[in-house]
Amino acid sequence: MEQTKKTSFVAGAAILAFAGVLCKIIGVFIRIWAYDIIGEAGMVYYEVVFPFYSWLLIISSSGVPTAISRMVSERFSTGDFAGARRVFRRALILLAVVGLVTTAVLYFGASFFANSVLGKDDTYILSFTSLAPALFFVSCMCAYRGYLQGAQHMTGTGLSQLTEQVIKCVVGLMLAARWISRGPEYGAAGLLLGITVSEFVALLVVMAFRIRNRRLYMPIDASRTPADDRPVIPELLRIAIPITLGASIIPITSMLDVKMIFACMGRYMDEAAVNQRYVALSTNVRSLINLPASLTTALAMSIVPAISGARARRDREGMHHFAGLGLKLSMAIGMPCAVGLFVLGGPIIQMLFRSIQPESLAIATSIMRVASLSVIFISLVQTMTGALQGMGRQSWPVWSLLAGGILKVVSNYIFLSMPKVNILGASISNVVCYGVAGILDMVLVLRLTGLRVRVWNMFLKPLVCSLAMGAAVYFAYLGLHAIRPGMITTIASVLVGVGVYFVMAMMTELFTAEELDSIPGGGRIKRFLRKD
C-alpha cells in the first residue's frame, strides 16, 4: 500500500511533467512563430502585459488551487469523499468571484497600467483588454484542477493544459497573421486574444473530464459518506492567503522589472535599443529557461497532496521519502538543464529563432549564460515550496521569497543603472532572488522533517554528472560545427549530452534501487543495470 502511494506521487508528477514540458515546448514554438510574424516591435506589445496578467492570475491560480488540492487530499485519505466534493463546490464559487474581479481590474485598469506604470502610449491598452477575460476562465479552471490534483488524478489537468496550448497556437497565430497588417499592436492583440480563447476551451475540457471520469477517483457510494462539517471558505483562505502572498512576490517584482528596465536603461540607451534587449530577455531567453522549470513545477504540484496526505496519516517516514525524493529529483533535473543552456544557449536560440539578427543573438546569448544558473535555484524553490505547503507551513515560503524579492529589486536597480551591465542586471538579480529563496526554503524543510541530507548523493552526484555532460556537449558541438554548422549539429550535441548524462547517472548510481522503483520507468532501468 505504501509503495502504491509513493508510485502514485511520482506517477502524478510524471503526468504533469510530460504535459508541462509538452506545453512549454508548444509555448516556445508559439513565441518563435510569433517572433517571425509580428517581429521585435510586436513582441514588445505582447511581452509587457504578462507581468501584470501574471500578478492578477496568481490570486486565483496559486493559493486557492493548492489549498483545494491539500484539503481534498486530506479528506480522501480519511474516506470523506462527500467532504472533498463540498470543498470543490465552495472553492468554485470563490474562484468565479475572484476571476470576475481580476478581469475587471485588468480590463478597466488597462489605461492606468499602460500609461502611468509603464509610461507607454495608448496603443498598449489593446494588449491588456485582449487578455483580461482569460483571468475569469483560468480562475474557474483552477478549481477543477485543484480538485483533480488533490484526488491524485492528474490526467485531466494535463489534458486541459495541452488543449490550452494547442488552441492558443492555432487561434493566436492565425489572428496575429491576419491583424499584423494593421500595426504591431494589433498583431500582438491577436496573439493575446488567442490565449483568452484557449483558456475558455481548456475550462470546458477539464469540466467535461471531471464529469465523465468521476467514478475513477470517487466510490459509487461516496454521496452517502458523512461530510466534514467544518466551514470550507475560512479553511481555504487560511491556507491560500499566505501562499498567494508568497506567489505574488515574483509577479510584483517582474512588474518592477519592466518598469526599471525601461526607466534605468532609458537613461543611456534609445528606446529601440531597450526594446531589443527586453525582447531578447523575455522572448528569446525566458521562454527556454521556463522549459526545465515545468518539470519541477509538476513535482511541486504533486508533492503538496503527497506530503499532505502523509501528514494527515501521521506517516513521518512517508514525509521524509517525498521530501527527499523531491529534492533529489529537482537537482537531477535543474543542474543538467542549467549546464546545457549555459553551453548551448546561443546555438539553441539561433536554431529556434531563425529570423533573429546577429546583434540580437549576441545579446540573447550573453543573457542566457547568466540566466541559466537560475534554473537550479528555481527548481529548488518550486520543490521546497511544495513540500512546505504540504506540511501546512504555507506562510514560510512567503518570507523566503520576500527576502529574495527585496534583494532582487535592489540588485536590479544597481545593475540596470550600469551601462556596461545593462540588461544582464535583470538576469543577475533573478539568480540572487531565487538563490536566497531556494536555500532558505531547503533549510526550513530539513529542520521540519529532520531529513538528513547526504551532500554527495543529493547535490554532488548530479553536479558531477552535469559537468561531465557539459564538457561532452561543448566538445561535440565544436567538432560537429567545424564539419557541418547548423541545426543538425545543435540537435546532435543535445543528444550527446542526454546520452552522457544517462551514462554518468548509471555510473555514479545517482538513484537508489528504492528510488528507481518509485520513478516511472525506473524498474526497467534497474533491470537493465542488473544484466551481465
**Structure confidence at residue 73 as a pLDDT band (50, 70, 90):** confident
- Residue bearing the bigger pLDDT, 246 or 398: 398
pLDDT computed for residue 171 by the predictor: 93
Amino acid at the residue 159: L
Cell numbers given for 497: 549530452
The set of residues, in sequence order, having a beta carbon less than 8 Å from that of 101 and lying 6+ positions away, is: none
- HSE toward the beta carbon, residue 72, CA cutoff 13 A: 29
CB 38 within 8 A of CB 191: yes
CB 339 within 8 A of CB 467: yes
DSSP 229-272: -S-HHHHHHHHHHHHHHHHHHHHHHHHHHHHHHHHHHTTTS-HH
pLDDT computed for residue 528 by the predictor: 56
Task: Report the C-alpha gap between 501 and 465 in whole angstroms.
Answer: 6
pLDDT computed for residue 5 by the predictor: 47
CB 173 within 8 A of CB 163: no
Max Cα-Cα span within the chain: 71
**Structure confidence at residue 7 as a pLDDT band (50, 70, 90):** very low
Residue with cell 511533467: 17
Can you tell me the mean pLDDT for 501-505? 90
CB 305 within 8 A of CB 387: no
| Nearest one of 499, 501, 485 to 334, comparing CA atoms | 501
| Nearest one of 360, 348, 355 to 289, comparing CA atoms | 348
CB 190 within 8 A of CB 136: no
3-state secondary structure at position 226: coil
Can you tell me the mean pLDDT for 435-444? 91
- Residue bearing the bigger pLDDT, 428 or 236: 428
Can you tell me the mean pLDDT for 328-341? 90
From the centroid of its chain, how far is CA 317? 28
Can you tell me the mean pLDDT for 212-229? 54
Can you tell me the mean pLDDT for 125-141? 92
pLDDT computed for residue 10 by the predictor: 52
- In the predicted structure, residue 45 carries a pLDDT above the cut 50: yes
- In the predicted structure, residue 80 carries a pLDDT above the cut 50: yes
**178-215 residue pLDDT tens:** 999 999 999 999 999 999 999 999 999 888 887 776 66
- Residue bearing the bigger pLDDT, 425 or 61: 425
**268-318 residue pLDDT tens:** 998 889 989 998 998 889 888 877 777 776 666 666 666 777 777 776 777
- Residue bearing the bigger pLDDT, 238 or 101: 101
- In the predicted structure, residue 519 carries a pLDDT above the cut 60: no
What angle separates helix 286-312 from helix 2-47, to the nearest 10 degrees? 150
**Structure confidence at residue 220 as a pLDDT band (50, 70, 90):** very low
Q: Which helix (H) or strand (E) holds 14?
A: helix 2-47
| Nearest one of 54, 17, 23 to 165, comparing CA atoms | 23
- Residue ranges of alpha helices (H) inside 151-183 are 155-179
CB 510 within 8 A of CB 461: yes
Percentage of residues of the chain with pLDDT beyond 70: 85
Question: How long a stretch of residues is the chain?
Answer: 532
Question: In terms of C-beta density within 10 A (0-12 exposed, 13-18 middle, 19 or more buried), how is residue 530 classed?
Answer: exposed
Cα–Cα distances (Å) from 125 to 175, 233, 239, 268, in that order, read 18, 35, 35, 27
pLDDT computed for residue 126 by the predictor: 92
pLDDT computed for residue 3 by the predictor: 47
Cell numbers given for 460: 554532488
**Structure confidence at residue 237 as a pLDDT band (50, 70, 90):** confident
Phi, psi of 95 (to 5 degrees): -70, -35
Task: Report the C-alpha gap between 297 and 300 in whole angstroms.
Answer: 5
The set of residues, in sequence order, having a beta carbon less than 8 Å from that of 34 and lying 6+ positions away, is: 42, 43, 46, 172, 173, 176, 191
- When mean pLDDT is compared over 139-148, 271-280, 297-306, 446-455, the highest value belongs to 271-280
- In the predicted structure, residue 513 carries a pLDDT above the cut 80: no
Lowest mean pLDDT among 47-61, 228-242, 438-452: 228-242
Residue with cell 559537468: 467
**Structure confidence at residue 401 as a pLDDT band (50, 70, 90):** confident
Question: In terms of C-beta density within 10 A (0-12 exposed, 13-18 middle, 19 or more buried), how is residue 287 classed?
Answer: buried
